[in-house]
């Protein structure tokens, strides 16, 4: 059957959660576990989209709804779609399942509809006539209103002259930008770009409030949040030496603690005692040291930095007894362990060369485990046949 399948990995945070909210650096790695999204066009007699065989409900799938508004508007004649979502990232556990879904779905939609470029025949198609990019003003892409968007976004030369579809129109920046925008829309305007960018680019991603001169710069993201404007600078970190020999063992407490609640808890603690800002700065220092150790492949030092980071997170009040139990269980067989994500439940991560032993210890202590190496690929289009599934009227009229 005609359709497109795209997939993206989940993520876990090695250093810097919570402190990143206050401008300190944070590092996330793409994990082996992925979400895969397949889209197929439904017959013209279908009345609505379908997800996993059920009628599409925008309240249940706000990310998909936000992407539909931005990329596949019914009012422009886009056909109804059937979407199948599969994968092995546990939902709502801080491992980036919703970002992976959003990034993979945006890639599937882009691949399925293709893209117009400004570039003349025979030249490299780098200049877009439609789409979203950190090079172009995102014009309301982050808007919280559930409005339909103008998809025909002219590039600097203003002419759409060449149409391309299929895997080659995939753009990691666009998918990460869309992924972040729809995450922010679904979370009431608050979302850091860490999840979407790590799911899109894979590997290891560093976020900072400044451009880091020693790292490979990707782009910057700007977001108006309810409590002020925010800017993040994103970078890729090269895979460390001997990374095949170490493993991340993730232990899930099974407890759900909403990120917003945890972030608010830290904000309150800082408001009550501004002196505690020092703790946030200490997490930043630990993260910077951890990043240097990671780049050298000194995993013992990386593990130590993770455990120190955990002590600071505990002090901030975002750990919980269940996380502590799993972290303690992992300690004897790992270089270091800490919570990953917002805390209060969710997951911990241990860095180890003995994944089996560490995993068994965490399971015995009551956690559900996942094992992942470093160096996982980001977003991929895995299957694309008989394209485009849809191209807009405007787009087919070359100017
Ligand atoms: O639980 P997650 O994966 O959404 O991570 C939250 C990370 C925080 O630093 C606590 C919040 C943020 O926006 O960066």
Domains of the chain by range and CATH? Answer: 3-237+384-398 (3.30.230.10), 247-372 (3.30.70.890)
| pLDDT of the residue at 399 | 38
Beta bridge partners of 162: 117
| Token couple for 236 | 């890729």
Q: Are strands 50-51 and 228-237 parallel, antiparallel or unpaired?
A: unpaired
For residue 331, name the pLDDT band (cuts at 50, 70, 90).
very high
Mapped onto helix, strand or coil, the DSSP state of residue 256 is coil
Q: Specify the range with the lowest mean pLDDT, choosing from 30-34, 143-147, 302-306.
A: 143-147
- What does the pLDDT read at residue 395? 42
How many angstroms separate the Cα of 185 from the Cα of each of 70, 113, 309?
12, 23, 30
The separation between the first and the last C-alpha atoms of the chain, rounded to the nearest angstrom, is 33
Does the CB atom of residue 174 touch ligand 1 within 6 A? no
Least confident of 49-53, 189-193, 220-224: 189-193
Predicted pLDDT of residue 398: 42
194 lines ligand 1 (CB under 6 A): yes
Q: Decide: 342 in ligand 1 pocket, CB within 6 A.
A: yes
* Centre of ligand 1 from the C-alpha of residue 15, in Å: 11
Rounded to 5°, the CA angle 391-392-396 comes to 80
pLDDT in tens, 47-99: 899 999 999 999 999 999 999 999 998 888 899 999 999 999 998 888 999 99
What is the reported pLDDT for 122?
Answer: 59
Condensed to tens digits (0 to 9), the pLDDT of residues 244-287 reads 999 999 999 999 988 888 988 999 999 999 999 999 999 999 99
Phi and psi angles of residue 89, each rounded to the nearest 5 degrees, phi first? -95, 120
pLDDT of residue 191: 83
Residue 285: the pLDDT is 97
Angle (CA) 224 226 231, round 5° = 35
Q: What is the pLDDT of residue 380?
A: 98
Q: Report yes or no: 203 and 104 within 8 Å, Cβ to Cβ.
A: no
Higher pLDDT pick, 362 / 226: 362
Among residues 8, 16, 23, 1, which one has the least CA distance to residue 63? Answer: 8
Instruction: Tell me which range, 117-121, 150-154, 163-167, 371-375, is most confidently predicted by mean pLDDT.
Output: 371-375
- Per DSSP, the three-state class of 331 is helix
**Residue length of the chain:** 399
pLDDT band of residue 386 (cuts 50, 70, 90) is: confident
Report whether residue 131 contacts ligand 1, using a CB cutoff of 6 Å.
no
Q: What is the pLDDT of residue 192?
A: 87
pLDDT category of residue 123 using cuts at 50, 70 and 90 = low
Average pLDDT of the chain? Answer: 90
Q: How far apart are CA 60 and CA 352, in angstroms?
A: 37
Residue 3 CA, ligand 1 centroid: distance in Å: 33
| 213 CA distance to ligand 1 middle (Å) | 25
Handedness of CA 91, 96, 98, 104 (dihedral sign): negative
Instruction: Give the pLDDT band (50/70/90) at residue 397.
Output: very low
The CA distance from 146 to 128, in Å, is 25
C-alpha span between 285 and 385 (Å, rounded): 49
Closest ligand 1 atom to Cα of 207: 14
Tell me the range of 42-46, 101-105, 112-116, 255-259 where mean pLDDT is highest: 101-105
What pLDDT is attached to residue 126? 63
131 and 114 Cβ atoms separated by less than 8 Å: no
pLDDT at 155: 58
Reported as a pLDDT band with limits 50, 70 and 90, residue 119 is low
Where residue 392 falls among pLDDT bands split at 50, 70, 90?
A: low
Which residues, other chains included, contact 243 with Cβ-Cβ below 8 Å and sequence gap of 6+? 297, 373, 374, 375
Q: Are strands 115-117 and 162-164 parallel, antiparallel or unpaired?
A: antiparallel
pLDDT score of 317 = 96
Confidence check: pLDDT of 136 > 80: no
Mean pLDDT on 221-226: 84
8 A C-beta contact, residue 17 and residue 338 = no
Measured between alpha carbons, how far is 25 from 216 in angstroms, rounded to an integer? 14
Task: State whether residue 277 is helix, strand or coil.
Answer: helix
Q: Provide CB contacts within 8 A for 311, sequence distance 6+.
A: none
Q: Is the pLDDT of residue 222 over 80?
A: yes
> Is residue 259 lining ligand 1, measured as CB closer than 6 Å?
yes
- For 388-397, b/e burial (b = at least 16 CB within 10 A) is bbbbbeebee
Instruction: For ligand 1, say whether the CB of 169 is within 6 Å of any of its atoms.
Output: no
């Amino acid at each position: 059957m005609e359709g497109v399948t795209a997939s993206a990995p989940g993520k876990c945070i090695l250093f810097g959660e919570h402190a990143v909210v206050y401008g300190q650096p944070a590092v996330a790695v793409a994990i082996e576990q992925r979400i895969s999204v397949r889209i197929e066009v439904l017959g013209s007699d279908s009345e609505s989209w379908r997800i996993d065989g059920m009628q599409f409900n925008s309240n249940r799938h706000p990310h998909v709804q936000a992407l539909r508004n931005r990329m596949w508007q019914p009012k422009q004649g886009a056909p109804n779609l059937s979407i199948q979502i599969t994968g092995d990232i546990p939902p709502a556990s801080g491992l980036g399942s919703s970002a992976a879904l959003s990034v993979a779905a945006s890639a599937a939609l882009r691949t399925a509809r293709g893209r117009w470029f400004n570039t003349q025949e025979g030249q490299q198609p780098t200049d877009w006539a439609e789409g979203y990019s950190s090079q172009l003003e995102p014009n309301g892409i982050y808007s919280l209103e559930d409005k339909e968007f103008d998809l025909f976004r002219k590039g600097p030369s203003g002419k759409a002259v060449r149409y391309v579809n299929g895997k080659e129109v995939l753009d990691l920046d666009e998918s990460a930008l869309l992924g972040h925008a729809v995450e922010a829309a679904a979370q009431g305007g608050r979302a850091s770009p860490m999840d979407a960018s790590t799911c899109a680019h894979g590997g290891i991603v560093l976020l900072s409030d400044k451009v880091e001169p020693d790292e490979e710069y990707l782009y910057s993201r700007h977001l108006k949040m309810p409590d002020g404007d925010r800017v993040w600078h994103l970078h890729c970190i090269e895979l460390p030496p001997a990374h095949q020999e170490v493993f991340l063992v993730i232990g899930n407490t099974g407890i759900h603690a909403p990120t917003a609640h945890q972030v608010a808890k830290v904000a309150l603690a800082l408001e009550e005692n501004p002196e505690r800002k020092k703790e946030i700065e200490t997490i930043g220092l630990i993260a910077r040291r951890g990043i240097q150790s990671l780049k050298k492949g000194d995993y013992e030092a990386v593990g130590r930095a993770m455990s120190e980071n955990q002590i600071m997170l505990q002090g901030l009040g975002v750990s919980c007894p269940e996380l502590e139990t799993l972290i303690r269980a992992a300690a004897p067989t790992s270089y270091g362990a800490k919570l990953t994500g917002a805390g209060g439940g969710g997951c911990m991560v241990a860095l180890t060369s003995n994944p089996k032993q560490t995993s068994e210890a965490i399971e015995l202590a009551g956690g559900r485990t996942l094992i992942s190496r470093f160096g996982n690929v980001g977003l991929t289009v895995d299957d694309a046949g008989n394209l485009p599934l849809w191209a807009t009227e405007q787009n087919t009229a070359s100017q």
